[in-house]
A and B are shown apart, each in its own frame.
Chain A
Amino acid sequence: MTSTQITSTQMTSTQMTGQSIRLGADIGGTFTDVALDCRGQLFSTKVLTTYSAPEQAILDGIAVVIEQAGIAASEIELVIHGTTLATNALIERRGARTALVTTQGFRDVIEMRTESRFEQYDLNLKLPLPLIPREDRFVVAGRIGAQGQELQALDEAALEELADTLKAEGFGAVAIGFIHSYLNPAHEQRARDILAAKLDVPISISSEVSPQMREFERFNTVCANAYVRPQMETYLYRLQQRLKDMGAGCPLFMIHSGGGLISVETAAAFPVRLVESGPAGGAIFAADIAQRFGIQRVVSYDMGGTTAKICLIEDFQPQTARTFEVARSYRFCKGSGMPISIPVIEMIEIGAGGGSLAWVDAMGRIQTGPESAGSEPGPACYGRDGKRPAITDADLALGKLDPDNFAGGKIKLSKTAAEGAIAREVGDKLGLNAEAAAFGIVEVVDENMANAARVHAVENGKNISDNLMVAFGGAAPLHAARLCEKLGIEACLIPQGAGVGSAIGFLKAPFGYEALSSQITALSRFDAASINTLLDELKHTAESFVLQGASGAIEREVVAYMRYAGQGWEIPVPLPDRAFTADDAAMIKDSFRQRYAQFFGRPVEGPEIEFVTWSVKAQDQRPAPEAVTLDWRGQGGQVGALGNLRAVFDAAKGAPQDSQIVERNQLSAGQRLSGPAVIVEDETSTIVTTPFDAIMQADGSILLLRKGA
């Protein structure tokens, strides 16, 4: 079996600075991207994902890029891999038959969820089914209290019996989740040992997978981990073997949801940490660009075929969070999915991609997504029997795409089919002509993305318009300028290699680890000595991991998650990386109050301040990527009229504008192109709207800059 190669590119780029040979591989829902950094030269390829044997696409991709680079597989020094396989197994419920062993009295935590309805007015609402059905959930006596004390001894005899039952029934995996185990894991560990003595299947315990308060989220997370573990374990070890067989016996590391690296062994034991690892690579890609250009505040905007992902990057670091939701079952509605509590790069993902379908609701309002036309039948303009209009159809109808030059001319687009679908499904219902209806569709999807970005920024105490945007993914350059208009953003970078951004991002991932310890203590009882001891342990844990894959200097970051006593959510407070003394309590209090005011307006008077979690992040210190100065001025000459004009609808003007059409590779560094214009290349087109100019950068990136900014 071989997979189908879609595109491959080669570029010499300042993006790659290393002297080593490293390979990144990203398995996505449709494509598998492989990027090879061969001593500073980048080779990349896109092949179709092979579901039955996912490693095949990687091997095929590797064959392509090493041939281009003229090296042997044995010369590859490091492979970094990210994948949506774990995510898909959860969404499609294709995991192992898993037993949940839980505290007596709490058999139904994952079925009762939050006891609420995520959509208030739908009387026929269906809640997502629990990942593990009731008949596969078993309870055992034994109870830890809210202070971590043992309230009732673990019923070990019952566990012995249960082991026999689980064995007899042929379960493929076991999850253990006990109440308050995040405070005291003793019962979970003991239960695992008893079961493991008789069972030959992987056992996951919640205090290791996700040691955080809130039983519904933690139990779900351990169930998800157990559920995908057998198949991910098999896949990962098979990939490792086949890489070895092809000569690439170098170390293989996995990228995790938090954007760091973990060993194959860790990934096989905690596969839930691979969920959303592809998009995490995209965020790292953007963070690297931010660092190269020295831009402190960046919002990354990744728009593909089905979804758009938006992530905030401050001081070259993507924002992180400790919980998110996978497999939303009700139109991407918040609360309709499975909560997973693990460290993640915090991003907001919405059903807005080039394939997202447009429709009209009962109120006569245009809506877009989350349903997608996918690759089959695809948007109506593909002429493959798609009858409903997708975002790509609207982009085409507005003149943003050239029907004869899509995907380098490989796919001919039918404007007639696009306009027909738009008229049928949207225009006729609202009494709008095709152009106005297409404008409506694009405005709605752009506004949805803008809203998501804004809400995301607010949740992080940030103002979105203070950021520079980095846009990548096939559909992003078509929408980026308009999105900037809506968000009040002045500038946007569209880097090279955007099509395989995530795989390139893997190569940039720091070799890092975050060690956490939760213990609630009042600031008034701040004990510098014990905090110093704790931090030393965390530093040791984090650094030991990093030393597995890096030999140079290590950089560290110390963060305390703090809140007012009585609150349920903490805010991160970055603290200096040094030994504390008793006098530091005042400094920590000030830092907390400042951070709090930054998030929520004013600090609260009265309640005590407390620590909840301490975190130490360690990572290898990379040589900073070669700095590139952002050319804000574009004095390499104005691109004159080339005579090639097309009418493109301009949202700010509310009418079509004659726009210059320019090939990306015809622009040279420092040249300035004034909107309205379109910069075309094989994979996509960059729309320069009327309020913007484009300035070509030395590294091949395009800077969109608001006129007069």
Chain B
Amino acid sequence: MSHAASHPSNLSQVEEIRMQVMWNRLISVVEEQAMTLLRTAFSTSVREAGDLSAGVYDPQGRMLAQAVTGTPGHVNTMAEAVRNFIAEIPREDMFPGDTYVTNDPWLGTGHLHDITMVTPSFKGNELVGFFACTAHVVDVGGRGFGADGKSVYEEGIQLPIMKFAERGQVNPTLLKLLRANIREPNQVIGDFYSLAACNDVGHRRLIDMLDEIGLPDLEALGDFILTRTHAAMMERIAALPKGSWSNEMLTDGYDDPILLAAKVTIEDTRVLVDFDGCAPVSRWGINCPLIYTKAYACYAIKCVVAPDIPNNSASLAAIDIASPVNIVNAQRPSPVSLRHVIGHMVPDVVLGALAQALPGQIQAEGAGALWNIHISARPAAGQEGRRAEVLMFNSGGGGARPSVDGLSATAFPSGVHTMPIEATEHTGPIVIWRKELRPGSGGDGQYRGGLGQVIEIAPMEGHEFEFSAMFDRVNTPPRGRDGGQDGAAGSVMLDDGTRLRPKGWQFVPAGRRLILKAPGGGGFGDPAARDAEAQAGDQRGGYLDEDA
């Protein structure tokens, strides 16, 4: 394969190499930006779990590079979000030292818990670009992180696109409003500061870099990056089979099952995903703004078509998304707090369509949505103790791949980590008695689905808690592919056998334990074809027996 043809011809060979090198540098600038966020953040969702993203944009708002650290639901939404900031804040109101903020689900990253900050980067008086970052904070007031809001107004405080800081001065009115409206003000306001700090670090590095190489702005480098990426994407899409393929998948929903449907069309120069046929908007907060649906649809396509091509505006531009108004294209003021529950299912729907275009090459379905749990703990009636908001991210099993077993208890499509339970137990009065693999939950196959996990959580003595359930695949287990069997469905119960609902706020009294069993991934291929050594390994490790 020769790339010579796609080179912009006006660059000398030496110039060409300098541009390549600066592209790498730009990626390292945003990685530094993300590391700063991890090191300074307060919420465990950011500092332990990496639920964040960071990126750099040109003055038109085109994303040029993103940090490797981060999660697709943030990165690909933020790619669009910066344009919304540019539309809202006129150029003449942008000053060096400014930082802008929003948590608007439709302009940002899909729900109020994600705070997006954008910082203009000035070289002298010249606007050379923007830095943006997003992180999931532990509280935004309202009903808390859960599906029970009837509209976005109940889901927390809404911050329209506005200034967090102007010319270096933090907006004191905004801080006062936040303090009055959120449950863990120190943690959340601390996170606002770290988001701003991380953009500042990115900005300082960018200016150093431009000074060093003697470039006035990002224009030449940006054009180089986007032209190159576009050419590579076109080459990849050209190599794909052309046509349209459809897939449907049932998920649990809140009270009724929700059908998700996608038609993937591969044309000569683009991939189109159409979500016509998905269930209508839900009364519950599991709806997705289209910006978030698009983020995960693009992610799935890119994993298959161009995993090695850096993510930026040009790689995302080759993928188009369409949907009528429905659960994956919910309009304001629909409730969207748990948009990830549906959004994380989008890749399995899209991959199922691609499996028809590329038979034998696409993994089975997996747990999909993270098994997140938000706990509001408090002293039991008449007891002394502590109140706290505790957030945990947990993952079920991944779908088996065409040549290798599925990943056990590993996030996909999300890019977040779990929090160490030792860190989680410091944040509130709870005890996590168990967090380990769930044997027998992986779908059998030539390649076995990844195992889910079992988690047992109890209030600390003298305490009780409410928790927000946001669990899926309890009624609709991940399906196997090409003869592989389905993964095990999830379950939610108390240790006395009481069955609980997979969604909504529920109560765990003092003295009881909540038991969560996250689903396993689907298998791939005929179980009879499973390698003998792999079978022996399954037996030795006790990966197959539920109670081993």
Contacts and interface: CB of A to CB of B under 8 A. Distances in A.
Interface string A596-608: 0001111011111
B494 interface: no
A364 B228 contact: yes
Interface residues of B, number: 93
23 contacts: A105-B434, A109-B435, A111-B408, A111-B437, A112-B418, A112-B453, A114-B417, A115-B418, A116-B418, A120-B68, A127-B407, A133-B540, A135-B540, A146-B425, A364-B7, A430-B4, A440-B17, A451-B28, A569-B38, A569-B40, A569-B47, A606-B186, A607-B187
B95 interface: no
B531 interface: no
B363 A123 contact: yes
The 8 nearest A-B residue pairs measured at CB? A364-B3, A105-B434, A431-B4, A134-B541, A121-B307, A146-B425, A568-B47, A654-B14
A366 B418 contact: no
B159 to A, nearest CB: 18
A121 B302 contact: yes
B542 A443 contact: no
B28 to A, nearest CB: 4
B24 A448 contact: yes
Contacts of B435: 105-106, 109, 112
A216 B542 CA distance: 21
Interface of A: 104-109, 111-112, 114-117, 120-127, 133-135, 143, 145-146, 151, 179-180, 182, 213-217, 334, 360-366, 429-433, 436, 439-440, 443-444, 447-448, 451, 454-455, 458-459, 486, 488, 564-569, 599-602, 604-608, 654
Contact of A567 (B28, B36, B185, B190): B190
Contacts of B456: 105
B42 A567 contact: yes
Contacts of B393: 115
B310 interface: yes
Contacts of A122: 303, 307
B394 A458 contact: no
B80 interface: no
B232 A362 contact: yes
B88 to A, nearest CB: 25
B237 interface: no
A459 B35 CA distance: 8
B190 A604 contact: yes
B42 A607 contact: yes
A488 B210 CA distance: 13
Contact of A121 (B31, B193, B303, B542): B303
Interface in B43-97: 43-44, 47-48, 50, 68, 72
B418 A123 contact: no
Given A115-B394, A116-B418, A122-B303, 14 more contacts: A112-B436, A116-B50, A116-B416, A127-B410, A180-B422, A180-B425, A213-B420, A362-B308, A458-B205, A566-B42, A567-B47, A569-B40, A600-B201, A654-B14
Given A133-B540, A134-B541, A124 B404 contact: yes
Contacts of A433: 13
B186 A566 contact: yes
A134 B6 contact: no
Given A114-B418, A180-B422, A363-B228, A106 B2 contact: no
B418 A143 contact: no
A135 B72 contact: no
B193 A602 contact: yes
Interface string B216-231: 0000000000001100
Nearest to A105: B434
Given A126-B404, A606-B190, A431 B7 contact: yes
A50 to B, nearest CB: 34
Given A116-B50, A444-B21, A145 B431 contact: yes
A600 B409 contact: no
A447 B20 CA distance: 10
Contacts of B432: 105
Contacts of B17: 366, 436, 439-440, 443-444
Contacts of B422: 146, 179-180, 182, 213-215
B543 A134 contact: yes
B309 A363 contact: yes
B528 interface: no
A124 B401 contact: yes
A107 B451 CA distance: 14
Interface string B1-18: 111101100000110011
Contacts of B394: 115
Contacts of A134: 437, 540-543
Contact of B20 (A123, A334, A366, A600): A366
A429 B6 CA distance: 12
Contact of A568 (B36, B48, B421, B437): B48
A43 B403 CA distance: 55
A566 B40 CA distance: 10
A176 to B, nearest CB: 16
B437 to A, nearest CB: 4
B512 interface: no
Given A122-B307, A567-B40, A567-B47, A108 B436 contact: yes
A364 B50 contact: no
Nearest to B393: A115
Nearest to B453: A112
A116 B47 contact: no
Query: Most chain-B Cβ atoms within 10 A of its Cβ — which of A125, A364, A429, A488?
Result: A364
A145 B433 CA distance: 10
A321 B20 CA distance: 33
A8 to B, nearest CB: 40
A145 B228 contact: no
A146 B415 contact: no
Nearest to B12: A654
Nearest to B455: A105
Nearest to B28: A451
Contacts of A106: 421, 434-436
B32 interface: yes
A143 B433 contact: yes
A361 B232 CA distance: 11
Contact of A566 (B7, B187, B453, B543): B187
Contact of A565 (B18, B50, B186): B186
Given A112-B437, A607-B186, A455 B28 contact: yes
Contacts of A146: 422, 425-426
Nearest to B236: A362
B194 interface: yes
A568 B44 contact: yes
Contacts of A604: 189-190, 193-194
Contacts of A436: 13-14, 17
Contacts of A216: 420
A436 to B, nearest CB: 4
B273 interface: no
Contacts of B127: none
A317 to B, nearest CB: 21
B417 A116 contact: yes
Nearest to B18: A443
Contacts of B418: 112, 114-116
A146 to B, nearest CB: 4
Interface in B367-402: 393-395, 401
Contacts of B185: 606
A180 B424 CA distance: 12
A602 B197 contact: yes
A121 B308 contact: yes
A180 B431 CA distance: 12
A548 B136 CA distance: 51
B212 interface: yes
A117 B409 contact: no
B304 interface: yes
B353 to A, nearest CB: 15
B39 interface: yes
Given A121-B303, A439-B17, A440-B20, A145 B47 contact: no
